Amino acid sequence: MPHSVTPSIEQDSLKIAILGAAGGIGQSLSLLLKAQLQYQLKESNRSVTHIHLALYDVNQEAINGVTADLSHIDTPISVSSHSPAGGIENCLHNASIVVIPAGVPRKPGMTRDDLFNVNAGIISQLGDSIAECCDLSKVFVLVISNPVNSLVPVMVSNILKNHPQSRNSGIERRIMGVTKLDIVRASTFLREINIESGLTPRVNSMPDVPVIGGHSGETIIPLFSQSNFLSRLNEDQLKYLIHRVQYGGDEVVKAKNGKGSATLSMAHAGYKCVVQFVSLLLGNIDQIHGTYYVPLKDANNFPIAPGADQLLPLVDGAGYFAIPLTITTKGVSYVDYDTVNRMNDMERNEMLPVCVSQLKKNIDKGLEFVASRSVST
| Residue 185 annotated as lining a ligand binding site | yes
Name the active-site residue from 52, 215, 243, 268: 215
The count of other CB atoms within 10 Å of the CB of residue 316 is 13
| Residue 342 annotated as lining a ligand binding site | no
82 forms beta bridges with 56
| Residue 146 annotated as lining a ligand binding site | yes
Three-state SS at 143: strand
Q: Are 84 and 4 in contact (CB under 8 A)?
A: no
| Residue 94 annotated as lining a ligand binding site | no
| Residue 25 annotated as lining a ligand binding site | yes
Q: Are 123 and 264 in contact (CB under 8 A)?
A: no
| Residue 26 annotated as lining a ligand binding site | yes
SS3 content of the chain, % helix, strand, coil (to 5): 45, 15, 35
| Residue 145 annotated as lining a ligand binding site | yes
DSSP code of 49?
-
Q: Are 50 and 86 in contact (CB under 8 A)?
A: no
**Which helix H or strand E contains 176, and what residues bound it?**
strand 175-177
| Residue 23 annotated as lining a ligand binding site | yes
| Residue 170 annotated as lining a ligand binding site | no
How many residues appear in the chain? 377
**Which helix H or strand E contains 326, and what residues bound it?**
strand 320-328
Query: At a CB cut-off of 8 Å and minimum separation 6, what does 125 contact?
Result: none
| Residue 343 annotated as lining a ligand binding site | no
| Residue 85 annotated as lining a ligand binding site | no
| Residue 213 annotated as lining a ligand binding site | no
| Residue 112 annotated as lining a ligand binding site | yes
| Residue 372 annotated as lining a ligand binding site | no
* Selection from 182, 186, 240, 235 nearest residue 213 by Cα: 182
| Residue 249 annotated as lining a ligand binding site | no
The dihedral of CA 342, 344, 347, 352: what is its sign?
positive
**Which helix H or strand E contains 367, and what residues bound it?**
helix 352-372
Q: Is 215 considered catalytic here?
A: yes
Residues 252-280, buried b or exposed e (16+ Cβ, 10 A)?
A: bbeebeeebbbbebbbbbbbbbbbbbbbb
| Residue 144 annotated as lining a ligand binding site | yes
Q: Which residues are catalytically annotated?
A: 215
Binding-site residues for substrate sit at 106, 112, 146, 185
Question: Which parts are annotated binding residues for NAD(+)?
Answer: 20-26, 57, 119, 144-146, 266
